[in-house]
Structure 1
Amino acid sequence: MRNRVIFRMGVVAIVFQCMVACKKQVYYIDQSGYASAKTQANRKVRYILYGDQSVLGSDSSMVTFTLHMANRQNRILWDSTLPAMRVKDVPSKFNPISIEKEVPDNDTSVLKVGFIYILENIGTSNHIDTFGIGARLKYLEFNFR
């Protein structure tokens, strides 16, 4: 009986050690069509959008936000438009819209990330920031006022 317990504990220890020691090699197909090992963690941008309710008040005009990511040459890597909403319905800081997006192809160059917004009958504006070389995660917080 005692030998069985020791044997089982030994098996569990070996299995646990194998799980911890083994590293999975991840491959992906790059733009040239060749498989290569993924050596770095993916870069990510977390877009956080909220509005100051005391400033926005009861404004019922419409606003449309576009999340934007481009490289230094202004080539758009990714963008996504949120559904149009009334200015007064932009969520507060306590309940923001938060979207996390991986950088396409794990582009390691300096990026321009931000929000582009269109206010009905007023025009277009933006909130753009840089995502530096070597950074893994960018928090882009925008307080719409």
Structure 2
Amino acid sequence: MKQHQTTLTLGILCVIFSVAILCCKKDATPEQPRLIRYILYTKQDFSAEHDTIRFRIYMATKAKTLFDSGIVPMTISAVPDQQHQLVFEKKVPFGYEKEKLKVGFIYDIDNVGESWYLDSCLVGEATKTVEYSFK
């Protein structure tokens, strides 16, 4: 009977010890979301330019496009100056916190073609600002 009590006591202590370890284990701190801030403006006078321009906000890893979203088409003359700049913020999608990113603007001008302004957001950069002065 004494051996049975000892075995039972050891079993209960093992359960209590295991529960205590599980309860005291700290949860891994979740990664803070990275933020990409896109800023678009011009310092030039395009008031005579009436071709349509279509800007897109872009974010990608080496292997996958994460975000590619168009801004409302406008005439080149409507691209705002620095005092009226367009500002967009986009969080990096979950699962890509530790990836180097390509971020920036892609734009297409009617009857001219496509061009871009791209930068990189390195691993560990919590906030990246992509500021593009359209020329």
Aligned to 1:79: 68
**Which of 40, 63, 77 in structure 2 is aligned with 1:88?**
77
Q: CA deviation at 1:52?
A: 2.0
Are 1:121 and 2:86 counterparts?
no
Q: Which amino acid letter does the alignment assign opposite residue 104 of structure 1?
A: P
Aligned to 2:91: 102
Aligned pair count?
108
CA distance in 2, matches of 1:72, 1:102: 18
CA distance in 1, matches of 2:124, 2:58: 20
Aligned to 1:144: 134
Calculate the aligned-residue CA RMSD, in Å.
1.5
SS of the aligned residue for 1:130 comes to: strand
SS of the aligned residue for 1:53 comes to: coil
**Is the Cα contact below 8 Å between 1:69 and 1:112 reproduced in 2?**
yes
SS of the aligned residue for 1:98 comes to: strand
Q: Deviations over 1:84-114 (max 9, x none)?
A: 1000000100110000000011512100001
CA distance in 1, matches of 2:28, 2:34: 16
Q: Structure 1 residue runs of 4+, over 2 Å off?
A: none
Structure 2 gap ranges (5+): 1-26
Aligned to 1:130: 120
Aligned to 1:62: 52
CA distance in 1, matches of 2:108, 2:28: 41
CA distance in 1, matches of 2:48, 2:103: 29
Give aligned-pair identity as a percent: 33
What TM-score do the two structures reach when normalised by structure 2? Answer: 0.75
CA distance in 1, matches of 2:80, 2:28: 41
Q: Which amino acid letter does the alignment assign opposite residue 89 of structure 2?
A: E
SS of the aligned residue for 1:94 comes to: helix
What TM-score do the two structures reach when normalised by structure 1? Answer: 0.70
